[in-house]
Structure 1
């Protein structure tokens, strides 16, 4: 089919379908984009799981709000590249290429403002109250750290690497919260791998312990980024002395409870980043021993560091770190390109079902 989008049941993210995408001409200030290349990762499952409402985005907002009105089905946000096909926005020409946040679809219509040589800001009313970082679209030719040889790894890793880098930066900035060991749940996820890489590059970092499922344990160990790999059912075998921190990329309540019960007051922080185990059973409603979990929100940390270092300083540091990460990304992840609507739907269903091979980065060419 030529023009399509994937619609997801807001109340059950495992229910999704390909539907026709209506064709309309762009209105004043709008531009239409053909989506060229996007990635599907565990991070997108987090977006879907938090589609209805999450305090990260505000008191009454969720990830569905980026591309859906409240009375419409959910439309999954994904990261990648697109090309302008029609434009009624001065400063965006047909053929201009951009990197940013798109729906899982063949095309997207965006309302563009603050159009400049580096990119533009999306200003659809429902999006203006959402975090600004998601509304920025960068011109491909203006990206200082984009290399054509790395192009396929951008949709797979770029936003996830930035999140991992920001978490590592917060740990370094906060003296690792006093921890001598950091436990990483969902350790095979690409954001977790980025975090572990940055910590190892830093040197003199706390000991890193990976929590991994039996399916991903061998890969997680093979990365060489962790000092110990432990199954979720064997948390009592974690080797740790002194204070401990938990960085939770999995959002598995039973595993979180097991870590809290094992370490109690020795746990200095429980930082929640993702919900890749969106369908995991609850670990009980009793209060957790130790610290109350806190959420990590990358756009908030970006805002702080941009204020600390200036926009240019922040961009320079992240660009250098990204280029340093590229050899690791390519070593860890093979690219799996898939084309068309049905392939996109199948890839989404696999991601929700937890069937994505951690050694692979799935790319969709609509």
Structure 2
């Protein structure tokens, strides 16, 4: 094995400042494993991770997304979802050749500290990670994933974390009696999280109307997917009936769109939920908004609530049922575009940061 591998460093204060670096593969200590990252997805969700890389109160502590894979006072390592294979092991219960789905740095390899190893996988117990949400620290053996199918392999990193977020938002709506609304406006309707939300809501027989909001150029293509009841462009928001109780789910953190919706519906807007910040460079412009206070949605917190409500097994079964149904339609919603190597990984990050990526493409990097 090579004594070095590539990684990508990002300035914690300016996420546009990014570079490909050589990473030294230091010897393992007891309890550690080294994995080669086989593939990971680059999505708008990763840009949200970068935006909230520094402590932002999301985790209820003074940590942010940079703290998963980078020590303080070092450049950030962006978390990504993907698959990896163990290449070295100094940990009981994990062997060379074992493969896991989970959370990795944007790099060629990673060192993880194994805890609670078992047939289903293990938990990373690196000290800086123990106070971070458990959902990010669990590594699942591919063979133990109940809803994994080989044919869906490349769609897992592209859609799985985003679909789970969308499904959890839909679950919150149902749990809250849909906030008493008759229509749910979903901004950035072409995003994969929005598609997951729209799909999960569509599985319900009794629900509000779903209205996808997108750019004018995307309306026809998004409408053709059949995920939402209606799809309109941002400049058509003012044509919606302002007397009909509504909720907004904002996937991108675009303040201009939020202001139009709040201003149009006023007190008839019953909920305004912000999920991501992929439009990281858009003016927030949210001071003095009429209507409800905006509320953030944090998928790990919602997951932990439902696991407590239902138990881990039942939670997993519900996700599996919805996921397999979604996988039956995912190939017509997006095609996988594979990129190989460090230079391609760097380019994929910059492309996603620019906001110009085709929403019908799922970028998968193969280190």
Q: For the superposition of Structure 1 and Structure 2, which TM-score range results when normalised by the shorter chain?
A: over 0.9
Cα shift at 1:17 = 0.9
- Aligned residue-pair number: 365
Deviations 1:2-42 (A, max 9, x none): 61001111111122111001111211111000000100011
What are the equivalent positions in structure 2 for 1:167-246 lying under 5 Å apart?
Answer: 167-239=169-241, 241-246=243-248
Match of 2:86 among 74, 84, 87: 84
Q: Which residue of 2 aligns with 1:342?
A: 343
Residue 114 of structure 1 deviates from its aligned partner by 0.7
CA contact (8 A) 2:250 2:274 kept: yes
Q: Work out the CA distance in 2 between the residues paired with 1:8 and 1:114.
A: 31
Quote the residue 1:95 is aligned against: 97
Contact kept? 1:216, 1:358, Cα under 8 Å: no
Contact 1:219 1:358 in 2 (8 A): no
1:60 aligns with 2:69: no
Task: Return the offset for 1:183.
Answer: 0.6
CA contact (8 A) 2:253 2:277 kept: yes
Secondary structure (helix, strand or coil) at the match of 2:33 reads strand
Query: SS at the partner of 1:283?
Result: coil
Give the corresponding residue for 1:320: 321
Residues of 2 paired with 1:91 and 1:230: CA distance?
A: 52
SS at match of 1:13: coil
**Equivalent residue, structure 1, for 2:9:** 7
Contact (CA 8 Å) 1:122, 1:135: kept in 2 or not? yes
Question: Deviating runs (4+, > 6 A) in structure 1?
Answer: none
TM-score, L = length of structure 1: 0.97
Quick one: distance in 2 between partners of 1:343 and 1:214? 30
C-alpha distance in structure 2 between counterparts of 1:258 and 1:352, whole Å: 25
Instruction: Report the TM-score, using the length of structure 2 for normalisation.
Output: 0.96
> d(CA) in 1 for partners of 2:103 and 2:7?
15
- Which position in structure 1 is the counterpart of 2:119? 117
List alignment gaps of at least 5 residues for structure 2: none
Equivalent position of 1:306 in the other structure: 307
d(CA) in 2 for partners of 1:102 and 1:360?
A: 21
Change in 2 beyond 3 A, CA 1:284/1:95: closer
User: Cα offset for 1:95?
Assistant: 0.2
For residues 284 and 117 of structure 1, the distance between their equivalents in structure 2, rounded to whole angstroms, comes to: 48
- For residue 284 of structure 1, report the CA deviation from its aligned partner: 5.4
Distance 2:233 2:356 in 1: 18
From 275, 280, 283, give the equivalent of 2:282. 280
Measure how far apart 1:211 and its partner are. Answer: 1.6
- For residues 149-180 of structure 1, give each alpha carbon's deviation from its aligned partner in whole angstroms, at most 9, with x where no partner exists: 11110010111111111111111111111010
Q: Displacement of 1:239 after TM fit?
A: 4.3
Distance 1:334 1:231 in 2: 24
Structure 1 SS opposite 2:355: coil
- Distance in 2, matches of 1:219 and 1:112, equals 45
Query: CA offset at residue 240 of structure 1?
Result: 5.6
Partner of residue 329, structure 1: 330
Gaps of 5+ in 1: none
